[in-house]
């Protein structure tokens, strides 16, 4: 029987998701034996023309990591969708917009100002030249893909069949997904291939969270000596565990929790949470310093809220493009 044809592609991301495939270690040989890799430009010498030549739906499963930020990424996402029976959104940037999605707090022009113009102290560019999509040079015309104003998740531009979450996805989840694809044993389309529980549900520190938690101060992990046994929230340190999907480790605590760092939310929300930031703000609102309605003290609450440095970046660190906020207001959304 012919081996299933599999493709991997990289859009706007740091490359960690490509590393996550290499992190299969010796299991990668097992995987390579079971599938026929027909496109993986990061690791092998494939060209876009190779994909264009393929018949529609010729690829059995295509793993796409990274958000969509440029014309090139948009074109490749659409091309690979057309050529693939199944598209798997791989990793937080593809799934949620990820860290590149934080750029949605700005627009293309302000990003170019910081990257290429006077706003960047290490750049000398008196003519304020910025990258153009077409430039004439003596040898002919040079082209660059257009840079979009808004970062999008993969499913905001093409239909996605399954999601493997995480920054980066845990190798065991990738391996499980490949075996499920091979065995044709997949859940309903649109499913996230990770447990539908919150990180708190699997966290060994959960028992140290008092039933009635009341915070009098918010602490930053970099400025305190966090107790390695105690729930971060009980120590006044923001941990996104209550609104984040479990699964970053096969068993036990989340990856960050095991090294005494609070969760930042890279696995996105479990199915019952629609907007991680909104839900986290609501969770915090119920534990910030006021036990009874009569004790409500606006000044105290404001002081506590002010201790959360960069709330939007904290609550939507990985998910701004798919959140209710989506981006700051802009004339041009593309």
Note whether 206 binds ligand SF4 by CB under 6 A.
yes
- Distance of closest approach, residue 280 Cβ to ligand SF4, in angstroms: 10
Contact 165, 255 (CB under 8 A): no
User: Which stretch, 76-84, 111-119, 134-142, 242-250, contacts ligand SF4 (CB under 6 A)?
Assistant: 242-250
Choice between 58 and 196, CB closer to ligand SF4: 196
Three-class SS state of 39:
strand
Handedness of CA 229, 230, 236, 239 (dihedral sign): positive
Candidates 97, 100, 241, 321: give the one binding ligand SF4 (CB under 6 A).
241
- Distance of closest approach, residue 11 Cβ to ligand SF4, in angstroms: 20
SS3 content of the chain, % helix, strand, coil (to 5): 35, 15, 50
Binding mask 259-278 for ligand SF4 (x = CB under 6 A): ---xxxxxx-----------
Q: Who contacts 31 (Cβ-Cβ below 8 Å, separation ≥6)?
A: 24, 175, 178
Structure token pair of residue 320: 């701004």
Candidates 255, 279, 300, 303: give the one binding ligand SF4 (CB under 6 A).
255
Candidates 209, 304, 322, 323: give the one binding ligand SF4 (CB under 6 A).
209
Candidates 7, 21, 154, 256: give the one binding ligand SF4 (CB under 6 A).
256
Note whether 200 binds ligand SF4 by CB under 6 A.
yes
Choice between 7 and 231, CB closer to ligand SF4: 231
Candidates 233, 269, 288, 322: give the one binding ligand SF4 (CB under 6 A).
233
User: Which stretch, 50-58, 177-185, 255-263, 304-312, contacts ligand SF4 (CB under 6 A)?
Assistant: 255-263
Contact 149, 331 (CB under 8 A): no
Strand stretches in the chain, DSSP E: 5-10, 36-39, 59-65, 68-70, 84-90, 134-137, 140-143, 147-152, 162-164
Give the C-alpha distances (Å, rounded to integers) separating 270 from 163, 252, 302, 321: 12, 17, 29, 17
> Would you mind telling me the total number of residues written for the chain in this entry?
334
Note whether 316 binds ligand SF4 by CB under 6 A.
no
- Distance of closest approach, residue 241 Cβ to ligand SF4, in angstroms: 2
Note whether 239 binds ligand SF4 by CB under 6 A.
yes
- Distance of closest approach, residue 227 Cβ to ligand SF4, in angstroms: 10
Element (H, E) at 257: helix 255-258
Neighbours of 114 (CB within 10 A): 13
* Cα angle 313-315-318, degrees, rounded to a multiple of 5: 70
- Distance of closest approach, residue 204 Cβ to ligand SF4, in angstroms: 8
Note whether 199 binds ligand SF4 by CB under 6 A.
yes
Closest residue by beta carbon to ligand SF4: 241
Binding residues for ligand SF4, per CB under 6 A? 167, 199-200, 203, 205-206, 209, 231-233, 239, 241-242, 244, 248, 254-257, 262-267
């Amino acid at each position: 029987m012919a081996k299933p044809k599999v493709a991997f592609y990289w859009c706007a991301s740091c490359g960690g998701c490509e590393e996550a495939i290499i992190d299969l270690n010796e299991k990668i040989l097992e995987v390579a034996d079971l599938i026929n890799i027909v496109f993986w430009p990061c690791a092998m010498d494939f060209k876009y023309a190779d994909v264009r030549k393929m018949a529609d739906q010729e690829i059995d499963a295509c793993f796409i990591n990274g958000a969509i930020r440029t014309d090139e990424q948009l074109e490749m996402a659409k091309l690979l969708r057309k050529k693939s029976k199944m598209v798997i959104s791989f990793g937080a940037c593809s799934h949620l917009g990820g860290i590149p999605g934080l750029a949605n707090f700005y627009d293309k022009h302000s990003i170019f100002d910081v990257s290429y113009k006077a706003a960047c102290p290490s750049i000398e560019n008196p003519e304020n030249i910025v990258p153009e999509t077409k430039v004439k040079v003596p040898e002919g015309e040079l082209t660059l893909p257009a840079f979009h104003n808004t970062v999008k998740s993969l499913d905001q531009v093409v239909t996605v069949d399954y999601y493997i979450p995480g920054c980066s996805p845990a190798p065991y989840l990738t391996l499980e997904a490949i075996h499920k694809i091979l065995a044709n044993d997949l859940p309903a389309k649109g499913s996230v291939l990770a447990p539908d529980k919150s990180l708190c549900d699997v966290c060994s520190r959960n028992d140290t969270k008092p039933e009635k938690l009341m915070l009098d101060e918010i602490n930053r992990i970099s400025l305190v000596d966090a107790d390695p046994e105690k729930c971060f929230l009980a120590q006044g340190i923001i941990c996104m565990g209550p609104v984040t999907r479990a699964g970053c480790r096969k068993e036990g605590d989340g990856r960050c929790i095991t090294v005494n760092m609070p969760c930042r939310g890279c696995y996105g929300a479990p199915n019952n949470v629609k907007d991680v930031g909104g839900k986290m703000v609501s969770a915090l609102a119920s534990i910030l310093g006021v036990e009874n309605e009569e004790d409500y003290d606006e000044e105290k609450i404001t002081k506590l809220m002010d201790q959360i440095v960069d709330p939007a970046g904290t609550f939507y660190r990985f998910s701004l493009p798919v959140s209710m906020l989506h981006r700051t207001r802009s004339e041009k959304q593309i």
